[in-house]
Amino acid sequence: MSLSKPKVVVVMPAYNAAKTLHMTYADLPQDSVDLVILVDDGSKDETARIARDLGLEVFVHHRNYGYGANQKTCYREALRAGADIVVMVHPDYQYDPTLLPQIIQPIVEGQADVVLGSRLMGSSPMAQGMPWWKFIANRFLTELENKVFGLKLSEYHTGYRAFRREVLEQVNVEMNSDAFIFDQEIMAQIVEIKMRITEVPVPTRYFAQASSASFIQSSIYGLSILTLLARYWLHRTGLRRHLQFESLERRYRSVAATAAGKN
């Protein structure tokens, strides 16, 4: 069943985004958004001040905890604010904020629980400025993830994502990493609880102020994904179960059943 007039909350995980935040916010379709939450992960610039001047709801980490830790705060506060749909929009202006209505449409229409804004659908990402080595790594890792997860997505590494509220209520985000691998850990959790995932093509911008991981950071991220896929495969086959991948609902039922058995 589709949502009627859902509350849409945009979350912005920010770190040193002072130069691009205003552009990102200005391009958000205001009639499609009920609230914008920005979490400043210990920025050294004026990100938090600019966000407050724009009227955003701002939460500040007093030191840099990491991209995953930032998202944890984003989702926690969005749920607390009563969001029906949560959309992550990076404030670095790399992803097009004007596409938000297309991103949330499959959820509003009841056709999906999670929507990924894919850079690899439509026009060539390298023509838009994606480095060749990043494109090749993205394709390689996506193929591996598709095999392990049993899906056929065009990519898993986008930072433009929308979630139905129930998804974030069921996955155990607090058990995920505070680093960049958080993005793939939450995908593994979503796959495990059998949420419906779809994609929408999104063009991206690559320019000096847009955040982009270095070759070394990307290499560490890639190795972390291989480790994650191995852990998930062991969990899926039952060789070694991991609580991280089990839904909170299932975990609560298990705890309740154990407690009842002791009485």
Kindly report, residue by residue over 67-107, the tens digit of the pLDDT: 999 999 999 999 999 999 999 999 999 999 999 999 999 99
pLDDT at 255: 46
Give the separation between CA 96 and CA 206, rounded to whole angstroms: 12
Helix, strand, coil share (%) of the chain residues, nearest 5: 45, 15, 40
Calpha distance 232→251 (Å, rounded): 17
Task: Tell me the C-alpha distance between 164 and 51, whole Å.
Answer: 25
pLDDT higher at 135 or 143: 143
pTM of the predicted model, to two decimals?
Answer: 0.90
**What is the average pLDDT score of the chain?**
91
Neighbours of 198 (CB within 10 A): 16
Pair of tokens at residue 36: 């914008």
> One-letter amino acid identity for 158?
T
Torsion of CA 137, 143, 144, 149, to 10 degrees: 130
Q: Which residue has the tokens 């063009």?
A: 203
| Number of helices (H), then strands (E), in the chain | 9, 7
- Written out in words, the top-level CATH class of the domain with range 8-262 is alpha beta
How large a percentage of the chain has pLDDT more than 70? 88
As a whole number of angstroms, the distance between CA 122 and CA 135 comes to 14
